[in-house]
Amino acid sequence: MSEELVEQEIAREQAFVDQVYVQLEKSAKSAQALATEGHARGGLGHEGGLVERDAMVFQAARRIAQLDAAHEGLVFGRLDLRAEVDGEPRYIGRIGLRDENRDSLLIDWRAPAAAVFYQATAAEPQNVVRRRVLRSRGRDVLGVEDELLDAEAQTELPIVGEGALMAQLSRARDRQMHSIVATIQAEQDKAIRAPGKGVVSISGGPGVGKTVVALHRAAYLLYTDRRRYEAGGVLIVGPSGVFMTYISRVLPSLGETAVALRSLGEVVDGVRATRHDEPAVAAVKGSASMAEVLRRAARQQAPGSPSEFRIFYRDDVLTLDRGRLGTIRRQLMSQGRRNKQLPRVANTLLDALWRQVRGERGRERGKEAFEDEMLGDQRFLDFAGTWWPALDAQTVLGWLRDPEFLARVGDGVVSSEDQALLLKSWSSHPGDLSIQDVPLLDELRYALGDMPETPTDERDVDPELGINVQELMTAADREFAGGPGWRPPTNRIEDDPFAHVLIDEAQDLTPMQWRMVGRRGRTASWTIVGDPAQSSWPVPAEAAAARAEALEGKQVHEFHLGTNYRNSAEIYDFAAAYAERVGLDADLPTAVRSTGVEPVVLGLPGEPVPDLEAATRAEVARLAGEVAGTVGIVVPVARRSEVNSWLASWPELAEDAPSARASAADAGTTPSGEDRVVVLTGLDTKGLEFDGIVVVRPQEIEDESPTGRATLYVVLTRATQLLTTIS
């Protein structure tokens, strides 16, 4: 293949790409003009003008966002079909574009006409003679990679390049996941274009592209049924803030921004937790038994609330003792969630009191006069508000910090040893939620129910008595919420469900996390991504039962990916050998790329290196010098701060690791895109990849938890080019 031929083909494609960018700019100007016109419609002075304005501005803003996001690698594919099918080439891109005559200039990769770009093979060319991938940076075409799919076709098309997939696999990694839209393989495309209803389950070992395929599926669904998925929302849930930042550019690069990306510590609106509990505590909080503990907690009498009420009315002393109040509590609880009963509380208490009125003077006045007098008595209002306070989930979760309260609601459900672990966890971090606390908070939200939003809301008014329920909340707010006024959550329970839910690293979800996510997908379609061998949850059967409950009644479509595109064969063989040696039932994909570079092993569990810092420093410097992309230092949790301090003091890595940097786990987010070297724990590496990995004290990572072997297996599969372990 001559260089002159390659240059000619690049120049030919550059001319077309230039034409597309000219049209892109025209489309952007048209969208901006539409937005300007829409704003002008708002000045018409009537409701129709405002509605029209909002619709026009919304449509224009969405199109502008798509056009802005599509600039990088806008045109990436070309199909040349048999002449009798279509004599003109079809160009495939991140979005669809038409020219000024409304003829198709660029086909959206999700459109049916583009499907053959991913599905055609040499065995089944589907009328495709040549498939070409354009490699670009910005607007500049850097190269082309061709595949001749139909060797029997009469063609003079030149075939250039060394294969688009291998070129993509060998690129340097940075701190963001990138779209694979140009190199989607046939097995991946089947999962992406699977039916929109039910559940699509994508399984496979490390490096097979499960995450990025799932993200492309989300973009595909938004394209095929935009009204449904934009109206209902798409929720994408991943294991950590580090991971969510890592994947954050994929969907915008595909022209999609109508998604909610949340880590497991952010699933509940208005809550953000980044801290993991230690494994033993996490195992208790994540267990399905916690649901019963929280159900009981939500039904308990509020600590410090009155246990009886006495008042004199005419000739009678009226009493609500512990027994009567218990009966009333059970009656109210039987009618639905606790907070939903607030409008019924006063009426129910008044009924119980009226039944005790025996005196002639009291009976003659009648029940209506009795109710008016009681509702005008501050003693009754204070009692009602403190006996049945308006409760939020944070308050009830706080009750569990009391050993006696926890022992009462945990009796027969959570052992005394596990109760001790919970108490220690909550007392060690007062007011600071862990990631494992978030599902508990959500469980209580649903057990308690929503509360009235404002004093003027019709739902706050007792339908029979006409009293404002907010009046009955005031005393409870002061007593139990720590200050005047109740602060409602940023969303209400009925607002939680989404149209589509995507769960990544699903094998790690605890039963309580499955319950939390399941509530958001009751009427949704789902995409679930996972690999059981990489699970960090110690009781798989319990998690499987919770998953089945979350997906109850939904048809499941299974897809398995079996080709490892991430690791070199040398690195994955090393990781697979470890998995087999320690007895993991691992799904072992085939790695398609070889570098000839074997992993480096320094020290052994029984023979550690004499100077751990010096060995780590040397290996990190070596890897940073040999790869163009990122380097991860993976450490046991107990060593994270120590290794961070080492990294900050190494002058030869000062450019890559400024001393001000904290680890991604400490900060809750990834370092900036310019930082090539980062310190992570084993769990932090979930879903990530680096050009090089240095694993510090692998045996300690294995010993950290009952699932430490699975965690270490994950760590060993994060590197694309170089791997070192230091014992």
User: Residues 52, 102: one domain?
Assistant: yes
Q: pLDDT tens, 200-234?
A: 999 999 989 898 889 889 989 988 898 899 888 99
Q: What is the pLDDT of residue 300?
A: 93
71: in domain: yes
pLDDT at residue 584, rounded to an integer: 93
Q: What is the dihedral of CA 170, 163, 592, 236, to 10 degrees?
A: 70
For residues 21 and 106, membership in a common domain is answered with yes
Q: How many domains does the chain have?
A: 4
**Number of other CB atoms surrounding residue 249 within 10 Å:** 16
657 and 707 part of one domain = yes
Is residue 261 in some structural domain?
Answer: yes
Q: Which of 707, 414, 684 has its CA nearest to residue 537?
A: 707
HSE-CB of 410 using CA atoms within 13 angstroms: 24
Question: DSSP states of 159-222 as a string?
Answer: --SS-HHHHHHTSPP-SS----TTT--HHHHHHHTS-SSSEEEEE-STTS-HHHHHHHHHHHHH
**Parallel/antiparallel/unpaired status of strands 677-681 and 690-696:** unpaired
Show Cβ contacts of residue 59 under 8 Å, excluding neighbours closer than 6 positions.
Answer: 34
Please count the other Cβ atoms lying within 10 Å of the Cβ belonging to residue 179.
22
**Rounded-to-integer distance, Cα 570 and Cα 334, Å:** 62
Distance CA 398, CA 300 (A): 13
What pLDDT does residue 476 have?
34
pLDDT band at 282 (very low <50, low <70, confident <90, very high): very high
At residue 168 the predicted structure's pLDDT band, cuts being 50, 70 and 90, is low
Rounded Cα distance between 95 and 5, Å, is 29
**Type and span of the H or E element at 500:** strand 500-503
**Structure tokens belonging to residue 387:** 């006996």
Residue 297 in any domain: the answer is: no
Residues 720 and 622 in one domain: yes
- DSSP SS3 for 724: strand
CA torsion sign, 277 to 279 to 281 to 286?
A: positive
Q: Which of 623, 617, 672 is nearest to 648 (CA)?
A: 617
Q: Are residues 505 and 592 in the same domain?
A: no
Q: Which of 540, 561, 582 is a domain's end point? A: 561
Distances (CA, A) of 429 to 249, 274, 395, 401: 34, 13, 16, 11
**Category of 163 on φ-ψ map: left (φ > 0), alpha (ψ -120 to 50) or beta:** left
Question: How much of the chain, in percent, has pLDDT values that exceed 70?
Answer: 82
Q: How far is the C-alpha of 233 from the C-alpha of 225, rounded, in Å?
A: 12
* Domain end (from 510, 530, 561): 561
Q: Which residues pair with 98 in a beta bridge?
A: 104
pLDDT digits (tens, 9 = 90+) for 60-108: 555 555 555 555 678 888 999 988 888 889 999 888 888 888 888 999 9
Residue 397 falls inside a structural domain: no
Query: Please, are residues 182 and 146 in contact by the beta-carbon 8 Å criterion?
Result: no
Residue 643, class by beta-carbon neighbours within 10 Å (0-12 exposed, 13-18 middle, 19+ buried)? buried
Determine the Cα–Cα distance for residues 493 and 512; give it in Å rounded to an integer: 17
pLDDT more than 90, % of the chain: 52
pLDDT digits (tens, 9 = 90+) for 324-341: 999 999 999 999 899 989
pLDDT for 491 equals 60
Asked if 328 and 466 sit in the same domain, the reply is yes
CA 429 centroid distance within chain: 24
**Per-residue pLDDT tens for 306-320?**
999 999 999 999 999
Asked whether residue 593 falls in the same domain as residue 721, the answer is: yes
Q: Is 553 in the same domain as 573?
A: no
Quote the pLDDT of residue 506: 95
pTM for the model stands at: 0.76
- Both 537 and 571 in one domain: the answer is no
Cβ–Cβ < 8 Å for 197, 228: no
Contacts of 78 (CB under 8 A, 6+ apart): 13, 89, 90, 91, 92, 130, 131, 132, 134
282, part of any domain: no
Q: Looking at the structure, do residues 142 and 260 belong to the same domain, yes or no? A: no
Q: What are phi and psi of 593, to 5 degrees?
A: -125, 135
Per DSSP, the residues of 582-599 read TT-----PEEEE--S-PP
Q: What is the CATH number of the domain that holds 622?
A: 3.40.50.300
Residue at which a domain ends, from 539, 561, 583: 561
- Domain extent, residue 365, equals 306-388+452-486
Q: Which residues contact 232 (CB under 8 A, 6 or more apart)?
A: 497, 498, 499, 500, 524
- Distance CA(436)–CA(422), nearest Å, equals 11
Residue-wise pLDDT tens digits, 600-647: 999 988 899 999 999 999 999 999 999 988 999 999 999 999 999 999
Q: Are residues 536 and 636 in the same domain?
A: no
CA torsion 681→682→684→686, rounded to 10°? 170
Q: Bridge-partner residues for 106, per DSSP?
A: 97
- 81 and 41 both lie in a single domain: yes
Q: Closest Cα partner for 161 from 144, 141, 185?
A: 144
Cβ-based burial of 217 (10 A; exposed 0-12, middle 13-18, buried ≥19)? buried
622: which 2 tokens? 């070596």
> Which burial class, exposed, middle or buried, applies to 379 when counting CB atoms under 10 A from its CB (0-12, 13-18, 19+)?
exposed
Strands 128-137 and 140-148: what pairing? antiparallel
Residue 436 DSSP class: T
Q: Is residue 444 part of a domain?
A: no
Residue 669 included in any domain: yes
For 221, phi then psi, to 5°, come to -65, -40
Give per-residue pLDDT as tens, 340-358: 899 889 999 999 999 999 9
Amino acid code (one letter) for 498: F
- Residues contacting residue 601 through CB under 8 Å, at least 6 positions apart: 724, 725, 727
Closest CA relative to residue 612, chosen from 704, 705, 724, 714: 724
Query: Distance between terminal CA atoms of the chain?
Result: 49
Considering the domain boundaries, does residue 180 fall inside one?
no
- Report the candidate in 197, 169, 173 with the shortest Cα–Cα distance to residue 183: 169
Mean pLDDT, rounded, for 680-703:
93
334 CA to centre of own chain = 35
Please choose, from the candidates 236, 244, 262, 684, the residue with its C-alpha nearest in 3D space to the C-alpha of residue 438: 262
142-152 pLDDT per residue, tens: 888 888 888 78
